[in-house]
Chains A and B, each alone.
Chain A
Amino acid sequence: MNGIAGVFRKEMIITFTSPIFYAACFIFLLVSGYFFYSNTAYFSLLSFQAAQNPFLAQSLNLADMVIKPFFGDLAVILLLMLPLLTMRLYAEEKKAGTIELLFTYPVSDASVLAGKFFATVVVLLLMLAGTLPFMIILESMADLPWGIVASGYLGVTLMGSGFIALGVFTSSLTENQIVAAVISFGAILLFWALGWAKALAGPGLGAVLEHLSIIGHLDTFTQGLIDTRDVVFYGLFILFWLFLTLRFLNSRFWRG
């Protein structure tokens, strides 16, 4: 526990003293703010037209037209931002040699990994918390379905944690931060696009690919549905990459 707390604290201090965090946060809020604005503005434009067109009015729905796309947009921005936040976790320590301290302190690899992972998840939560004012603005103008908003945030948090777990793993592979970021970005993109091959693959393989697609599992959350299948998928996705990280760190003992 001491180990996890110590590493967590250290990672937080380093995060908040590094410019990467502020740059990533700034861009994240700027771009998500723009997406939110354009979604909302388009929705209000349609609302005016619906005043003359009763058929259109029936299909107008805040949850489907603003909230659902907004969480999809958040996912895209996180895909771009999170590899930048995870790339330094191990690569920087390897480059600077501080990994030698970490590996000779009386703390298990698992505690160090947990500390690093949770610290980055907290950073993700802070970034997402930065988008909460958008929802509050929306609430002031319309009747917001808070349940859907909550499940949407839960889904994005789980998915983001999956990105982080993958990013931690790629960071443990190399001492070059750029390489770590590129690999994790590419890997996330592949998992994202895996479902697209569904139509080309046979029905059996197609179903497997669809279930592996990291973005497909977000859809139910943004519809206000918390499905255990999706929660379990993200949970396993996270554990899988964290497990691989531990195995890879352990390989230092038997590699030549």
Chain B
Amino acid sequence: MIHIQELTKYYGLKAAIRDISLDIERGKIVGLLGPNGAGKTTILRILTCYMQPTAGRVTVDGLDCRTQSLEVRKRIGFLPESVPLYTDLSVQAFLGFAGTIKGVGGGVLRRETDRVIEACGLRDHRKRLIKHLSKGLKQRVGLAQALIHDPPLLILDEPTTGLDPAQIIEVRNLIRELGGERTVLLSTHILPEVSQLCERVIILHNGRVRKEDTPANLARDIQHGLRTILSVDGPEDQVRRALAGLEGVTEVQPVEETPGEWVVQSGGDAALRTRMARLIVESGWGLREMRSSELSLEEVFLHLVTEESAGEGGDAS
């Protein structure tokens, strides 16, 4: 669906993105993840033909963004980051305008307007002026205008920024529903969002792709072996020594906020947990809790980002 080849964009002398190459398959929900300033918006703006890259090539459905811009734009529904809307228009008038411009005409326009109003839950608000809507409803109007011409590709730039938690969940569900057969590319700096929504994650940092994979694989990749959290009722020194002495345990760390809890990093052997439990019980201590802990996406992300900063520091010296 989307093919990005050695994409580079400079703002003045500063490179926003450097040498990015990506392929995005049809029908997937893909997340662009990165801290602010990582180049997410730049990539999306180039994809939507709002900007042209300094170097490199982008094709959508085999159409070049530079030379066949109008054709590309017909296939894309775009929700920009700040959700700009014509606030003096009513929801219906605005969707009519968006539809007309996108080449949806006459009876089809009326039907499509009804469809997106229904899909985005705006039925009770169609006659209201956009400036009188709440932030969450505006976000829905933004999604509705992106969907009015039933595009095969939906591009959303930070679709949940600035919403309250209930609205965030609503919008996420909406995106999942609306996704359907479409390819959805969304950018975000909120990690749980990608793990909940996306089938594939592309992690960007300082204008480069750091990693791309499924959310689950990303976590697994970085996490070598097993992590177990233990809550033990016993003398701290002895517990630590005993745990560290077990065969296969690579690291024992106390959990800072809760005394008596330990994070035990070990090899891939699951039987180790049985031995841990036995050791604790046989030593006469109390085993209050034992659970396995997956590395969260936050940790994966931090891991990648810090890894790179360390690498960069090395380059500089």
> Does A63 make an interface contact (CB < 8 A)?
no
CB distance from A7 to the nearest CB of B (A): 7
Q: Name the residue in A99, A100, A101, A252 with the highest tally of chain B Cβ atoms < 10 Å from its Cβ.
A: A101
Contact digits for A245-256, partner B, Cβ 8 Å, 1 yes 0 no: 000000011101
Which residues of B are found within 8 Å of A97, using beta-carbon distances?
A: 80, 82, 84
Stretch at the interface among A11-19, A123-131, A214-222, A232-240: A11-19
Q: Of all chain B residues, which has the CB nearest A254?
A: B52
A103, CB-defined interface residue at 8 Å? yes
The stretch that binds B, out of A49-57, A104-112, A183-191, is A104-112
In the assembled complex, the Cα of A97 lies from the Cα of B74 at a distance in Å of 20
Q: Which of B54-112 contact A (CB under 8 A)?
A: 70-71, 73-74, 76, 78, 80, 82, 84-89, 93, 96-98, 100-103, 105
Neighbour of A2 across the interface among B11, B85, B103, B145, CB < 8 A: B103
- Contacting B51 at CB < 8 Å: which of A9, A18, A107, A252? A252
- Distance in Å: Cβ of A110 to nearest Cβ of chain B: 11
B12 adjacent to chain A (CB < 8 Å)? yes
Bound Cα distance from A234 to B101, whole angstroms: 30
Q: Which residues of B contact A96 (CB under 8 A)?
A: 84, 86-87
In the bound complex, what is the Cα–Cα distance between A17 and B103 (angstroms)?
25
Return B185 CB to nearest CB of chain A, in Å: 14
- A6 located at the interface, meaning its Cβ lies under 8 Å from any Cβ of chain B in the complex: yes
A106 near B70: Cβ-Cβ < 8 Å: yes
**Contact, CB under 8 Å: B11 / A10:** no
A253 to B49 alpha-carbon distance, docked (Å): 9
Tally of chain B residues near chain A (CB < 8 A): 33
Number of A-B contacts (CB under 8 A): 78
Q: Closest A-chain residue to B79, C-beta based?
A: A101
User: Assuming the A-B contacts A2-B101, A2-B103, A13-B88, are A104 and B93 also in contact, with contact meaning beta carbons closer than 8 angstroms in the complex?
Assistant: no
Beta-carbon contact of B12 and A14 below 8 Å:
no
Interface pair B70/A9, CB less than 8 Å apart = no
- The answer to whether B285 has its CB under 8 Å from any CB of chain A is no
Q: Give Cα distance in the complex from A107 to B87, angstroms.
A: 21
CB contacts under 8 Å to A, within B1-18, are 10-12
Knowing A98-B84, A100-B84, A108-B70, the reply to whether A2 touches B89 (Cβ < 8 A) is no
| B73 and A104 form a contact (CB under 8 A) | yes
Neighbouring B residues of A100 by C-beta, 8 Å: 45, 50, 80, 84
> In the complex, which residues of chain B have a beta carbon less than 8 angstroms from the beta carbon of A195?
none
**A5 at the B interface (CB under 8 A):** yes
Given contacts A6-B100, A101-B145, contact A17 B82 (CB under 8 A): no
B48: Cβ under 8 A from any A Cβ: yes
Does A155 have its Cβ within 8 Å of any Cβ on chain B?
no
Q: Is the CB of A14 within 8 A of B86?
A: yes
B102 and A105 form a contact (CB under 8 A) = yes
Min CB distance, A197 to chain B, in Å?
41
> Is the beta-carbon distance between B103 and A101 smaller than 8 angstroms?
no
CA distance in complex: A106, B159 (Å)? 22
Write 20 A-B pairs (CB below 8 A) sorted by A numbering: A2-B101, A2-B102, A2-B103, A5-B100, A6-B100, A7-B101, A9-B96, A9-B97, A9-B100, A14-B86, A17-B88, A98-B85, A101-B145, A103-B49, A105-B102, A106-B73, A107-B101, A108-B70, A252-B51, A254-B52
Query: Chain A: residues with CB nearer than 8 A to chain B?
Result: 2-3, 5-7, 9-10, 13-14, 17-18, 96-101, 103-108, 252-254, 256
Ranked 10 nearest A-B pairs via Cβ: A97-B84, A6-B100, A6-B101, A106-B73, A106-B74, A104-B48, A98-B84, A256-B12, A253-B52, A10-B97
